[in-house]
Amino acid sequence: MKSYKIVSILAALVLLAGTVVAAEEEKKEGDEQAAAATEETQIWGEQTLDITGIDSEGDEAKRQEFADETDGVHGKTKVASRNNKNGYYSSARAKVGTENDSSLSVRVGKQGKVALAADYKKAPHHFASDAQTLYGGVGTANLELPDGMQADLAATPAADRPAKMLNMYLPAVHHFAVESFRERGNLELRIAATDPVQLTFGVKKERKSGTRPMFASFGFGNTIEVPLPVEYSTLTPSLTAAYATSFMQVSLGYTISQFDNRNDAFTWDDPYRADTFGRLAPPPDNEASMLKLTAAFNKIPGNSALMVVAAMGENKQDEKLQAYTSVPTTITGTELDASDPANLPADSANAKVDTKLYQLRFTSHPVRLVSFTAGFRRYEYENKSEHITFPGNVRMDGGTWTASEASTEPISRTFDSFKLGADLHLTNKTAVQAGYELAKIEREGQEVEQSDENIFRLGLSSRPADWFFLRTSLSYGDRTGDYDFRVPFEHLTGNPPQLPWLRKYDQADRKQTDFTVITTASPNEFLRLNATINWLKNDFADSSFGLLDDQTQGITLGLDWSPAETVSLMASVAYDNAENNQKARQWTPNGPADPYTGTTDEESPSNWTAKTTQDTTTLDVGLRWGVSQDVVDLNLGYTYSTTDGQIDIASAVGGTTDTNNFRPANFSAVDDADYQRAGASVDFHAAERVTLTFGVRYEELDLSDYNLNGVTLLPLTKTGGSQSILTMNTLSNDFEASSVFGALKVGF
């Protein structure tokens, strides 16, 4: 840390605090007299001035991923007023950070009559601070390479391209930041039209601009990382009418959401082929609307209550479809050009989805020791999009037309849930809970037409002593359904391009067990202990391929100790473990491992398994000490977290019939990370409404991941070969930062 930063901050804040304290003492007596004369109207607020100096190195984008934490002066303002006689009130809060990290909140109204709320917030998302690319036009929807580069590399033998790219072109990369900025605004007006009716008008606006990293591909051996332009906005107006009495509350609301993407298409030059470029259709403009009715009825006989929800929604988009290819290509058997969108079977997706939601919840507490709940929920997702059949495709720009029919398959689903539950209070301090749920899903266009899941729940909550509380819960679910893997490929005339034994985990038969224990203990008025244990396992025992099982478990221990009124210590430690097992096969159509024409058994030397594990341990410690009561407070904090992940891959070596005839290497470092943050600050309460703060912080992240080992802008194999992959240096990396800061907070 450079010394001038520390000296400047200390001097500025001390001088400013001295001036403020002096002024505060002079006007204190006058303020007290004025308050008595204006007791009908109260005005109060708070002004904070922050000055920070930061010394950092490493990945700045990771360090301040969702905020701008920079050197300089920042401020926060809070102002509020209230008129005790006529009920008018107002308040405003503002955070002035950097240009791209600020917020404003305003509230005005009259108590019980009208309320107006307005909010604005702008926040950054930093992906990479030193990205590098050969493309020009970063931030636009059209990325272009330097003149002559495509033709030069296209004419260069493939074996010589890596050397030419490294020596001639990559030294001239552009350096830039990959980042986006989100602005959100919200305006809401509530009017108590006539008791007990209230109307609410609202409008939300969100805008996001900038870039984010994306991998674009011209095939398996030509993958390019590019900065995808982000420029869209969402407008959401709404209207709600509510009626409320002591017996019932009813509301009816209507909401529209309009998404506008200013980029209709995104293109980028192909580095290795002359006069060709890739093209992508970004998320399309769309509109969603919903009408929602909510009703709640209280004071039903038997100390019961009923809640009803009904909603209808419509989602649609009709964005123009992109052509098969960007290069003129003749469609076989015709004179039509595949690069002309007019020769598509449809000019747009004409997509439309209707949704419906029905929900009932009934609760009853007929006697002191027993309560019941019953519920029903139905959600319908009806896809009314057009069924479009494409007669073929152009696999690569500059290639030829391939006659291979493919069709869109609108997918619809209906979710039904029936719930029953009961609480039995065995004593005034102990209760048991039991519940049952039947969850049904009906699908169109997917492998499982209908799945049923029976879920059983048990729970216990007890306070055997005033200082001890225990809560446990256990649930067990069993999901079953008939799986037909051919459904998504019914339009194909040949064999499906998928293993017949593969099961998708969101539809496959599954047994799920979830167990949780929560306990707290306060043996005396100074000490509070808490512990949480959780264990969740999903078992896909009937799945031969795909996800076979996954399991998560964790334990958290916490302590709050206040041995004196001015001292408070907080500490917690947590351990989490996650692991899963997967199985798949390496195969190509008509090859030796083809499950239809080659190895038709489930067992094959081309099969492989992967076991993924991840362990995370986190420690948090905090201390707050009132060194001198009402004058000086000391704050200390420390956080440490370590994560260790790995992927173990296994496959038999089976000779000439083995598609992957080798022993695969394991990945011993997957998202391995060590993170620590330490801070110390001192608060000086210089006057009744003046606080001066000085502090220091230290933060460090140490990453170790197989993706970071040897990955450059042009990754090469150990023998110097290349698959023509170009990256932009956007992977997160280590950082270390220390800072000194000061703050002056003045209340009025």
DSSP per-residue letters across 150-173: HHHHHTS-GGGHHHHIIIIIGGGP
Contact 600, 585 (CB under 8 A): no
Q: Give how far Cα 467 sits from Cα of 483, 532, 654, Å.
A: 52, 17, 64
Q: What is the pTM of this model?
A: 0.88
Helix (H) or strand (E) holding 27: helix 3-37
User: Letter for the amino acid at 542?
Assistant: D
Let me know how many helices (H) and strands (E) the chain has, helices first. Answer: 4, 34
Whole-angstrom Cα distance, residue 442 to residue 455?
17
Residue 322 DSSP class = P
pLDDT value of residue 436: 98
pLDDT value of residue 1: 44
3-state SS, one letter per residue, for 581-632: EEEEECCCCCCCCCCCCCCCCCCCCCEEEEEEEEEEEEEEEEEEEEEECCCE
Contact 123, 95 (CB under 8 A): no
Whole-angstrom Cα distance, residue 166 to residue 512?
52
Q: Residue 216: what are its φ and ψ, rounded to 5°?
A: -110, 145
- The domain locations on the chain are 1-37
Whole-angstrom Cα distance, residue 445 to residue 489?
10
Q: Give how far Cα 216 sits from Cα of 175, 178, 281, 399, 481, Å.
A: 19, 16, 12, 18, 37
Q: Residue 21: what are its φ and ψ, rounded to 5°?
A: -60, -45
pLDDT value of residue 397: 66
pLDDT value of residue 220: 59
User: CB neighbours of 74 closer than 8 A, spacing ≥ 6?
Assistant: 49, 50, 51, 52, 95, 96, 97, 98
pLDDT value of residue 40: 67
Q: Give how far Cα 151 sits from Cα of 222, 540, 713, Å.
A: 16, 52, 21
Closest CA to 292 of 311, 308, 313: 311
User: CB neighbours of 15 closer than 8 A, spacing ≥ 6?
Assistant: none
User: CB neighbours of 599 closer than 8 A, spacing ≥ 6?
Assistant: 592, 593, 606, 657
- From the number of C-beta atoms within 10 Å of its C-beta (0-12, 13-18, 19+), residue 33 rates as exposed
Closest CA to 549 of 515, 586, 503: 503
pLDDT value of residue 365: 93
Residue 497 DSSP class = S
Whole-angstrom Cα distance, residue 453 to residue 411?
21
Q: Residue 20: what are its φ and ψ, rounded to 5°?
A: -65, -45
Tell me the β-bridge partners of 661.
none
Q: Residue 221: what are its φ and ψ, rounded to 5°?
A: -110, 20
Q: Tell me if the bond preceding 496 is cis, omega within 30° of 0.
A: no
pLDDT value of residue 84: 65
Mean pLDDT per 10-residue segment, the chain (748 residues): 47 47 45 48 86 92 88 84 80 82 90 93 94 95 90 89 89 94 96 89 97 84 89 97 94 98 92 84 95 96 95 96 89 90 93 97 93 97 93 80 86 97 93 98 95 98 95 98 92 86 97 98 95 98 96 98 94 98 94 93 95 98 90 96 97 86 91 96 91 96 89 82 86 94 91
Whole-angstrom Cα distance, residue 262 to residue 282?
9
pLDDT value of residue 219: 64
pLDDT value of residue 666: 94
Q: Give how far Cα 628 sits from Cα of 122, 162, 418, 682, 685, Å.
A: 39, 67, 59, 11, 10
Phi-psi region of 72 (alpha: psi -120 to 50; beta: other; left: phi over 0): left
Whole-angstrom Cα distance, residue 286 to residue 299?
43
Whole-angstrom Cα distance, residue 512 to residue 476?
6
